[in-house]
């Protein structure tokens, strides 16, 4: 009867693959402005002059405007310096395993330097060790790695480039306490627990409000950096604390979620919201008076400095262990600057 049924899978796989190849083939070609001759990159004898340095920039994710800005800065610097730049990022910010795979793949790609914004402070360390073993310099941007774990594993990084998150949290705390008249109930939306960035911002914020003894933190819960979780957690906080005066969110995504929750509760403009990152959406909210302020970081600067320093590292220059990019409180008064 129907004897020959081996037809099922082959065609399926075949077409999927042809489709994939066609797509990637086309894109691959147009992404590489200057197709590298196989021999040029394969052979060890290629002279540095003929060899355009390739820098891989592995971001946390690209569905957050912060990292999109960072990519813009990095690409601008790459163009200026004549560097071939590869930007890759996992689909989700939590996906550390995927980030590690990307580092591994870039090692296979034999790039000259790798810049990483780690999705996990400790988890990224094995990937750094692998890059070290391959002799590729690693630069860390935005989120610090776990220094102790790095020392234990013998992971070497060239530098850390990022804003001072502790300082940012501190100025946010001072600013908010001032606007509250040094008294009131504050709730905090934390980032992903265990993240160095999240911890630094929270620690700084606590320090910033410490001098105003009548400002109390009545609730502090993680909303994992995400807007929808920010909305949900804030909504619950509003239920639990009807007299809440202000919310500090450790990033703007969560802050914007909190603003929606406040508006849904009919308490718009009664509860002050301070965020972090000063994204475009946040600036707009500040301009419209829905948000009190946000701590500006300069992700584009981090991106461009990252590429600049990576190139310096490739060329063997000495680089500072830590390079700060500035933080600044943005509010209605200085929004236009």
Residues that bind another protein (CB under 8 A): 1-21, 23-25, 27-28, 31-32, 36, 38, 41-42, 62, 86-92, 94-97, 100-102, 104-110, 120, 122-123, 125-126, 146, 149, 152-153, 192-194, 222, 224
Task: Between 3 and 44, name the residue whose CB sits nearer to another protein.
Answer: 3
Please classify residue 111 by burial: count the beta carbons closer than 10 Å to its beta carbon, then call 0-12 exposed, 13-18 middle and 19+ buried.
Answer: buried
Task: Between 33 and 321, name the residue whose CB sits nearer to another protein.
Answer: 33
Task: Between 84 and 207, name the residue whose CB sits nearer to another protein.
Answer: 84
**Residue 200 CB, nearest distance to another protein (Å)?**
15
Rounded to whole angstroms, what are the CA distances from 286 to 19, 26, 90, 109?
46, 43, 30, 44
Both ends of the chain: CA-CA distance in Å? 79
**Residue 231 CB, nearest distance to another protein (Å)?**
19
Q: Cα–Cα distance between 333 and 230 in angstroms, integer?
A: 26
**Residue 114 CB, nearest distance to another protein (Å)?**
12
Task: Between 110 and 216, name the residue whose CB sits nearer to another protein.
Answer: 110
Q: Cα–Cα distance between 236 and 244 in angstroms, integer?
A: 12
**Residue 5 CB, nearest distance to another protein (Å)?**
6
Q: In what helix (H) or strand (E) does residue 119 lie, and over which residues does it extend?
A: none
**Residue 333 CB, nearest distance to another protein (Å)?**
37
Q: Helices 196-210 and 165-179, interaxial angle, to 10°?
A: 40
**Residue 126 CB, nearest distance to another protein (Å)?**
5
Q: Cα–Cα distance between 226 and 94 in angstroms, integer?
A: 11
Task: Between 93 and 167, name the residue whose CB sits nearer to another protein.
Answer: 93
Task: Between 38 and 266, name the residue whose CB sits nearer to another protein.
Answer: 38
Q: Helices 299-314 and 65-81, interaxial angle, to 10°?
A: 40
Closest CA to 295 of 328, 256, 335, 324: 328
């Amino acid at each position: 009867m129907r004897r020959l049924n081996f037809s099922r899978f082959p065609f399926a796989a075949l077409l999927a693959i042809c489709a994939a190849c066609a797509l990637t083939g086309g894109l691959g070609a147009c992404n590489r402005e200057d197709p590298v001759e196989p021999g040029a990159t394969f052979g060890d004898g290629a002279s540095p002059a003929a060899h355009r340095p390739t820098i891989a920039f592995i971001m946390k994710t690209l569905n957050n405007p912060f990292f999109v800005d960072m990519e813009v800065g990095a690409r601008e610097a790459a163009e200026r310096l004549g560097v071939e730049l590869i930007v890759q990022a996992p689909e989700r910010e939590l996906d550390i395993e995927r980030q590690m795979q990307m580092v591994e793949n870039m090692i296979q790609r034999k790039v000259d330097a790798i810049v990483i914004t780690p999705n996990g402070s400790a988890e990224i360390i094995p990937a750094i060790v692998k890059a070290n073993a391959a002799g590729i310099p690693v630069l860390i941007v935005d989120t610090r790695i776990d220094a102790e774990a790095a020392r234990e594993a013998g992971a070497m990084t060239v530098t850390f480039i990022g804003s001072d998150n502790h300082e940012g949290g501190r100025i946010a705390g001072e600013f908010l306490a001032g606007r509250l008249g040094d008294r009131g109930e504050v709730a905090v939306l934390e980032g992903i627990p265990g993240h160095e960035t999240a911890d630094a911002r929270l620690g700084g914020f606590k320090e910033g409000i410490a001098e105003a003894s009548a400002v109390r933190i009545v609730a502090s819960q993680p909303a994992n950096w995400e807007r929808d979780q920010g909305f949900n957690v804030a909504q619950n906080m509003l239920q639990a604390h009807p007299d809440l005066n202000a919310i500090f969110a450790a990033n703007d995504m969560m802050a914007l979620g909190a603003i929606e929750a406040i508006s849904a509760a009919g308490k718009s403009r009664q509860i002050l919201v301070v965020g972090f990152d000063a994204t475009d959406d946040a600036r707009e909210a500040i301009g419209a008076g829905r948000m009190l302020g946000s701590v500006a970081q300069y992700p584009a600067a981090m991106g461009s400095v990252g590429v600049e320093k990576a190139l310096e590292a490739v060329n063997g220059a000495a680089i500072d262990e830590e390079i700060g990019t500035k933080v600044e409180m943005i509010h209605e008064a200085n929004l236009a600057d």
